[in-house]
Amino acid sequence: MTRSWFVAGTDTEIGKTFCTAALIHTARRHGLVTLGMKPIAAGADMIAGERINEDAASLRRAGSFDPGLELLNPICLSSPIAPHIAAAEEGVAIDEALVLNAYAQLCSRADAVFVEGVGGFRVPLGPTRDTADLAVSFGLPVILVVGMRLGCINHALLTAEAIRARGLTLAGWIANQIDPHMLRFDQNVQAIETRIGAPLLGTVVFQADGNPASVESLSIPD
């Protein structure tokens, strides 16, 4: 049976993709055939005839093999803006059935799949749906990436509360040091750890070169 997780973030630009790629490398070091999935992405360039989102490309590089962007990133919007706005402007329907079918195909080919959300946990995907609804549709345990910067304690605890309010399991969280100059870093990690009610899967130290393959501090939830 494939082991899968939904990777959420406390905000946009907090290193969610980097940590997802690092988790993929971690699982691969444990001998698991592992893939990443970016169901919905906003912001892409045409490269060699393919519309490629940078986050999706990072997950494709990290995976055990390339399943193809039609499965790894089934909905790719051109504009780097909120996905519900990009979808409306581009006339694209965010079809969850398409997304879930792609996910099922990935599961049939891998031992582990990490599904990365878009932006924070409650980014709108349409008039009535958001990424929290998408996470519920997947029904997977959630790994929360916390961007460690001023305000992160509040963001982490509110997001954890939102995850549980949707009936989802918070399987663990990652402290990602996005601000190398953050004051009282260790104390902030400890403050979250004592309050969030989920295991700390590891601390990712700031990297100038941004190489997820070099991260060896993470563990995979039980």
Active site residues: 38
Q: Locate 59 and state its tokens.
A: 């997950």
Which is nearest to 124 in space by CA: 75, 78, 86, 67? 86
Phi and psi at residue 168, to the nearest 5°? -95, 155
The set of residues, in sequence order, having a beta carbon less than 8 Å from that of 174 and lying 6+ positions away, is 19, 143, 144, 145, 146, 200, 201, 202, 203, 204, 218
Residue 81: which H helix or E strand, with range?
Answer: none
Quick one: how far is CA 34 from the chain centroid?
A: 15
Q: Locate 148 and state its tokens.
A: 């460690």
Which is nearest to 115 in space by CA: 159, 162, 85, 75? 75
Pairing of strands 40-42, 45-47: unpaired
